Amino acid sequence: MKYIKILLWVPFIGLLGFLSFANKIEPYVLGMPFLLFWIVFWMVLSSVILTIVYRFDPDNKGSDPE
């Protein structure tokens, strides 16, 4: 679990690194143009990844500040 923070790079690479690949209008996914779907997909996936990092990060153990 020492390298859990490497997961934080996944949304950055997925959203910005492959944005030129996703720059299409067609096909429509869930009624949205593909580019809009791509951005929404990575926003949702980023939230999931941040939750995983928060739960499994060994530096996060300890008392909550008040």
| Amino acid code (one letter) for 41 | F
Residue-wise pLDDT tens digits, 7-55: 889 888 888 888 888 787 788 888 888 888 888 999 999 999 999 888 8
Domain ranges across the chain: 4-57
DSSP string, 13-66: IIIIITTTTT--SPSEETTEEHHHHHHHHHHHHHHHHHHHHHHH-GGG-SPPP-
The pLDDT of residue 64: 61
The pLDDT of residue 45: 94
pLDDT level of residue 63 (50, 70, 90 thresholds):
low
Pair 61, 1: CB distance under 8 Å? no
